[in-house]
Structure 1
Amino acid sequence: MTAADHAAKPPLRILLCAPRGFCAGVVRAIDAVEEALRRYGAPVYVRHEIVHNKFVVDSLKRKGAIFVEELDEVPDTQAPVIFSAHGVAKSVPEHASRRNLFAIDATCPLVTKVHREAEIHHRKGRHILLIGHNGHPEVVGTMGQLPPGAITLVETPEDARAITPPEGAELAYVTQTTLSVDDTAEMIAILRERFSNLAAPHKEDICYATTNRQEAVKQVAPQVDAMIVVGAPNSSNSQRLREAAERAGCPRALLVQRAAEIDWSQFANITRLGITAGASAPEVLVDEIIAAFSEQFEVAVEIATTAEEKVFFPLPRVLRSDAAE
């Protein structure tokens, strides 16, 4: 590139949201697959995508992980079978036990917390309202902790206004961990107004990482011409980041998995760009996208930090270094 070419590139100020990217639960889940491969060799079976990111899944496939949607796809084997970070219904480990599979549960501890809360409420005779997205693996897993009919799913404010729980039942609510903080607060407010006896979680169910990433986006979004969220279309927390950017005043907020997906027509004439990443998106993809913009613009990167994260979750017990080899 000549000096003239270099000078011709327009300036672009990138505000890089912090925190962004991997959360402690995602790190734990990926590390669990890699440690199982190290200890036991390939193959290691993984039920559902370990996290919702194609780059991560493909890299683990190359190392010997085999991804399946259901345990029926796993042959009779002594190889480890790992449950994803999103959690599973109780029927899944029961199925694994009947088949004598070597199951390792990589469910995020914050999702497990929601499962335990739902069980406690159920034991106390309460009907549970679950705020979440129908069909999301985390919601499927949470609903599968209890008998059919014990949980009513609430997806929208309209649902919150319309649901009719069992007459006379005491009520409690739990939530999916990756929801929009603002949307969830609206639905909780509607439910509390309708049901005065509604029991709440001991501690907010939406996880620290979801909350922190949304807050960083809200701070940056009004300052930029466009926002890129690095993440997968099936990643709930990534989609919520895109929505948060739009609501906070960003003219264009786009979900992008890889640099090759960038639609450059969306970024003509911008001078300020925000970038964040969903909790299942690795930092290497953020670097890749910044590099792609550096080809088109004279880039200056600033870190916009709104919180410090020091959360760590240990590996599942069977994979820890102090466990028997």
Structure 2
Amino acid sequence: MPDMRVVLARELGYCSGIRRAIDAAETALRSEGTVAATDTLLHNAGEMNRLGSIGLRSVELLSDEELGAATVLLPAHGSTLSEHLGRIASARAVWDLTCPIVNRAHDAVSRFADAGVPIVVVGDKEHRETRYLMEAAGSQLLRVVTSEQDLDTLEISVSRVGVVYQTTQSREFRQLVLAWFRRRGIEVAEEMTLCPEVLRRQDGAVALARRCTAMLVLGDSSSANTRRLVAVAVSACPRTYLIGDAAVLPEVGLNCVDIVGVVSGTSCPQTTIDEVVAGLRQVCPDVRVEVDAWPESVL
């Protein structure tokens, strides 16, 4: 029976921003007292369940008395002013775990707003990070663009716009947005706020997908950057699957002649990666695992 070849992407598991948030949450949970989050700290249900099992609670479920003695954690994807000034203002301590790269995008929006530049935010409308950027834009927010369909219906009467991106958007969609403005003669003052690590993962996923017969994208379906990895990989490898955990591997239809590429979203824990590799060994008794030698992209 032939060996299944499994090629792991060079960057797997948590990104630096998510790792920072997880480390902070675990530090808080090792201390005495109540620790609670205003929302999911990261888009991975399994990891949030793990944190819940060691004591992380929801702010919504705390009494006023409990909240007054609690340490409150704000998510990695940003938090709005209304959250800071709302109920959590009475907490004993508030830890803002917003990713530094997300804060960099927020600062870019604020600079445009302060300069009176009309702002277009490119991002998923309902995503917490996009709402964080929209708040920074204030009255200068012109439009949120999520898709090509949004561009098709976009009507802009100004001659100059500031464009800022939700950090997990794709390089391809950025180029599409810029081309739309160029065709209409609208000047763009752009802040390149796409996350370098997310871009490297997207580029690596495409390069790996071109050399594989099947692609596994590990992560939670609620994660925007994970879904985007699926979108970029499937264009090069139609047999691309989003894998939340190893239990679904038997349903994918892999076989021992496959070359299987493995990439992950930035909220995927190492335990999931290890379990999937172990699960692949159940699919095929002889599995050869290697790390992709594809070079890192140059931004």
* CA apart distance, 1:150: 2.3
For the 8 Å contact 1:230–1:281, the answer to whether it is kept is yes
* CA apart distance, 1:195: 4.6
* CA apart distance, 1:143: 1.2
Between 1:79-88 and 1:90-99, the stretch displaced more is 90-99
Between 1:91-100 and 1:284-293, the stretch displaced more is 91-100
For the 8 Å contact 2:158–2:186, the answer to whether it is kept is no
Match of 1:23 in 2: 15
* CA apart distance, 1:89: 1.7
SS of residue in 2 equivalent to 1:144: helix
* CA apart distance, 1:84: 0.5
Match of 1:122 in 2: 113
CA pair 101-194 structure 1, distance change in 2 beyond 3 A: farther
Match of 1:205 in 2: 193
Q: Do structure 1's residue 160 and structure 2's residue 151 form an aligned pair? A: yes
Alignment: residue pair count: 293
CA pair 89-302 structure 1, distance change in 2 beyond 3 A: same
Gaps of 5+ in 2: none
* CA apart distance, 1:263: 3.9
Q: Residue deviations 1:119-142, cap 9 Å, x none?
A: 110111111100111211111222
SS of residue in 1 equivalent to 2:292: strand
* CA apart distance, 1:149: 6.4
Gaps of 5+ in 1: 1-7, 310-325
For the 8 Å contact 1:19–1:307, the answer to whether it is kept is no
Give distance in 1, aligned partners of 2:142 and 2:36.
30
Give distance in 1, aligned partners of 2:166 and 2:71.
27
For the 8 Å contact 2:204–2:296, the answer to whether it is kept is no
* CA apart distance, 1:308: 6.3
Give distance in 1, aligned partners of 2:252 and 2:266.
27
Give distance in 2, aligned partners of 1:275 and 1:111.
26
Amino acid across the alignment from 1:304: D
SS of residue in 2 equivalent to 1:267: coil
Give distance in 2, aligned partners of 1:15 and 1:168.
48
Give distance in 2, aligned partners of 1:80 and 1:194.
50
Q: Do structure 1's residue 294 and structure 2's residue 271 form an aligned pair? A: no
* CA apart distance, 1:42: 4.3
SS of residue in 2 equivalent to 1:45: strand
Amino acid across the alignment from 1:183: F
Match of 1:254 in 2: 241
* CA apart distance, 1:15: 0.8
Match of 1:132 in 2: 123
Determine which of 214, 218, 228 is the counterpart of 1:226: 214
For the 8 Å contact 1:88–1:144, the answer to whether it is kept is no
For the 8 Å contact 2:122–2:163, the answer to whether it is kept is yes
Q: Do structure 1's residue 186 and structure 2's residue 176 form an aligned pair? A: yes
Identity, % of aligned positions:
28
Match of 1:93 in 2: 84
CA pair 96-194 structure 1, distance change in 2 beyond 3 A: farther
CA pair 28-98 structure 1, distance change in 2 beyond 3 A: closer
For the 8 Å contact 1:86–1:108, the answer to whether it is kept is yes
* CA apart distance, 1:100: 5.0
Q: Residue deviations 1:160-184, cap 9 Å, x none?
A: 243224x446410100111122122
Give distance in 1, aligned partners of 2:257 and 2:34.
47
* CA apart distance, 1:104: 1.1
Amino acid across the alignment from 1:82: L
Between 1:228-237 and 1:299-308, the stretch displaced more is 299-308
Give distance in 1, aligned partners of 2:165 and 2:14.
21
RMSD: 2.1
* CA apart distance, 1:187: 1.6
CA pair 197-74 structure 1, distance change in 2 beyond 3 A: farther
Match of 2:162 in 1: 172
